Amino acid sequence: MVSIGELSGQTGVSTQTIRYYERIKLLPVPKRADNSYRVYDESDVERLRFVNRARQLEFALEDIAEILAFRDQNEPPCKYVMNVMAQQIAVIEERIADLQHLRDELETLHRVGLTMPEDIEMKQCVCHLITTGLRARDEYDG
């Protein structure tokens, strides 16, 4: 049996987060020692490690709760986990595409900005392009 501080140390999860996970029922209500302090066993440590790693993989708390519910009912959660991972992959792919688009736009602004004069009023410089976009420069040059 370990205390909440020891559980925190073993898992890297703050005591505040552990208490939160208990409130939302991701962790079971802990046993209490004679002094009324929370005490945890190895199954609690394993469960918290799973929750922590799932959070690092950006699984939603609701999905983690569902996975744990399968386990608690002695049912394999594997198909559900695979579906969650597939959804996560799709979200990540979308974020990657958005970031690539952002990088391309910044590269273009940077390249164009290198050819523009400095302008304290920010009317004909790269700062103006940040506000108006590249079409404003094309119209200015046009």
Is the predicted pLDDT of residue 43 greater than 80, yes or no?
A: yes
Instruction: Quote the percentage of the chain above a pLDDT of 90.
Output: 70
Same domain, 9 and 53: yes
Quick one: pLDDT at residue 58? 93
Q: Is residue 62 part of a domain?
A: no
What range does the domain containing 100 cover? 88-141
Is the predicted pLDDT of residue 142 greater than 50, yes or no?
A: no
Q: Is residue 76 part of a domain?
A: no
The span from the CA of 109 to the CA of 90, in Å, is 29
**CATH number reported for the structural domain that contains residue 28 in this entry:** 1.10.1660.10
Is the predicted pLDDT of residue 137 greater than 50, yes or no?
A: yes
Mean pLDDT along residues 109-115: 88
Mean pLDDT along residues 128-139: 70
Same domain, 137 and 93: yes
Q: Is residue 26 part of a domain?
A: yes
Residue 60: C-alpha distances to residues 52, 66, 81, 110 (Å) = 11, 10, 12, 37
More confident residue, 50 or 135: 50
Instruction: Give me the number of domains the chain comprises.
Output: 2
Q: Is residue 130 part of a domain?
A: yes
How many separate helices (H) and strands (E) can be counted in the chain?
Answer: 7, 3
Quick one: pLDDT at residue 120? 78
Annotate 97-136 with b (16+ C-beta within 10 A) or e (fewer).
Answer: eeeeeeeeeeeebeeebeeeeeeeeeeeebbbbeeeeeee
Please say which residue of 16, 40, 57 terminates a domain.
57
Q: Is residue 97 part of a domain?
A: yes
Quick one: pLDDT at residue 63? 97
Q: Is residue 64 part of a domain?
A: no
